[in-house]
């Protein structure tokens, strides 16, 4: 069993294709096919099942893949641990929910790049559940999410608290309380979003049941609010990022408590200079 074979298994599992994995690893497809067959022979079990034109990972492959990711992550960490230069370099894979990626992160990423030009930044957006899953499997180095759901092997700290703002079209009737949302459409993210949950919890004690429209994009939600389609609850940091903001009326209520945004990392990765520098910049920026 060789590290090259583990990288091939990971690449094929990620892409579902030997050809795409070969492009990713800069080798010929036949080499990957041969090396994986040798590994399967050594393990005594198939790691992939042919599915149409692609490959689907087998049940045994899923188990083996987790070990591959752990071993390869440990190899990367060992290289960093003995790096005599001891400055952040390499690749930092950041996951973030869209509210953070669009709202708070852009100026911070620019400052990080200025300070640590030898680090190549990769930013991935997604739901908090997907990002934490990717972090658990070492596909990300850190994840910035607005949910404090505990996960095995992950540690976290609060980075900042995001004030929540109710927004409506500047041309619509003013909103003085939750009752003023009766008859209006709520524009929210799909279930699981903490901002959606905060809005739903605020309206629970009231007798009316609002109409709900789900969109997985802050740009779409804010655009629809500006057009007068409905109202939304948005994190304060994201409003300034959209040019429609001057067409909006914003309302703040004490009952709508701020939502913590947390940085998660894998506790098995003990030393990661680029990650630690990013965490330090977050503390410096939001302390």
Higher local confidence (pLDDT), 82 or 185:
185
The answer, yes or no, to whether residue 197 has pLDDT greater than 80, is yes
Helix 3-15 vs helix 18-25: crossing angle, to nearest 10? 130
Q: What is the mean pLDDT of residues 87-107?
A: 89
Task: Measure the CA–CA gap between 259 and 243, rounded to whole angstroms.
Answer: 24
- CA distances 179 to 168, 219, 267, Å, are 15, 26, 45
Q: Over 80: is that where the pLDDT of 52 sits?
A: no
* Residue 153 token pair: 């092997």
Instruction: Output the pLDDT for position 119.
Output: 92
* 111 vs 102 pLDDT, higher one: 111
d(CA 249, CA 246): 8
* Tokens (6 digits) for 262: 């947390």
Higher pLDDT, 74 or 85: 74
pLDDT in the model for residue 90: 83
Q: Regarding predicted confidence, which is higher, 79 or 274?
A: 274
Cα 176 → chain centroid: 34
Dump pLDDT digits (tens) for 205-256: 988 888 999 998 898 999 999 999 999 999 988 887 776 667 889 999 998 9
**Structure tokens of 122?**
């990769």
Whether 81 has a pLDDT exceeding 70, the answer reads: no
Has residue 86 got a pLDDT over 70? no
State yes or no: pLDDT of 73 exceeds 60: yes
Predicted local distance difference test score (pLDDT) of residue 244: 62
Q: Which residue has the tokens 């009737």?
A: 173
Tell me the mean pLDDT in the region 22-47.
90
What CA–CA distance (Å, rounded) separates 208 from 142? 41
According to DSSP, residue 177 is labeled S
**84 pLDDT higher than 60:** no
Q: In which band, very low, low, confident or very high, does the pLDDT at 78 lie, cut at 50, 70 and 90?
A: confident
Higher pLDDT, 81 or 94: 94
Neighbours of 62 (CB within 10 A): 11
What pLDDT does 141 receive?
94
Which token pair is 38? Answer: 């040798």
What per-residue confidence (pLDDT) applies to 261? Answer: 92
Based on DSSP, count helices (H) and strands (E) in the chain, helices before strands: 11, 12
More confident residue, 152 or 119: 119
pLDDT at 145: 93
The pLDDT of residue 175 is: 94
132-176 pLDDT, tens digit each: 999 998 899 999 998 777 788 899 999 999 899 999 999 999 999
DSSP lists the bridge partners of residue 266 as 154
* 7: pLDDT strictly greater than 80: yes
Confidence of residue 266 (pLDDT cuts 50, 70, 90): very high
**What is the three-class DSSP state of 161?**
strand
Phi, psi (5° rounding) for residue 262?
A: -120, 150
Number of other CB atoms surrounding residue 82 within 10 Å? 8
């Amino acid at each position: 069993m060789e590290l090259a074979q583990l990288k091939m298994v990971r690449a094929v599992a990620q892409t579902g294709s030997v050809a795409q994995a070969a492009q990713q690893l800069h080798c010929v497809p036949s080499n990957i096919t041969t090396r994986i067959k040798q590994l399967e022979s050594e393990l005594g079990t198939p790691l992939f099942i042919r599915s149409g034109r692609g490959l689907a990972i087998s049940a045994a492959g899923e188990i083996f893949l987790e070990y591959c990711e752990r071993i390869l992550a440990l190899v990367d960490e060992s290289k960093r641990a003995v790096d005599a230069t001891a400055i952040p370099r390499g690749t930092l894979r950041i996951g973030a929910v869209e509210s953070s990626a669009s709202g708070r992160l852009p100026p911070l990423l620019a400052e990080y790049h200025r300070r640590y030009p030898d680090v190549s930044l990769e930013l991935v957006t997604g739901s908090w559940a997907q990002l934490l899953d990717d972090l658990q499997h070492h596909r990300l180095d850190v994840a910035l999410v607005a949910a404090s759901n505990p996960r095995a092997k992950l540690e976290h700290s609060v980075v900042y608290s995001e004030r929540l703002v109710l927004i409506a079209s500047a041309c619509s009737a003013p909103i003085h309380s939750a009752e003023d949302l009766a008859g209006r459409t709520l524009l929210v993210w799909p279930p699981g979003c903490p901002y959606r949950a905060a809005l739903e919890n605020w309206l629970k004690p009231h007798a009316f049941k609002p109409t709900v429209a789900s969109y997985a994009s802050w740009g779409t939600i804010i655009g629809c609010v500006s057009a007068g389609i409905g109202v939304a609850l948005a994190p304060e940091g994201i409003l300034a990022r959209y040019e429609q903001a001057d067409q909006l009326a914003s309302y703040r209520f004490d009952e709508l408590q701020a939502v913590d945004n947390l940085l998660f990392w894998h506790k098995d990765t003990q030393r990661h200079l680029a990650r630690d520098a990013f965490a330090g910049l977050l503390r410096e920026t939001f302390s």
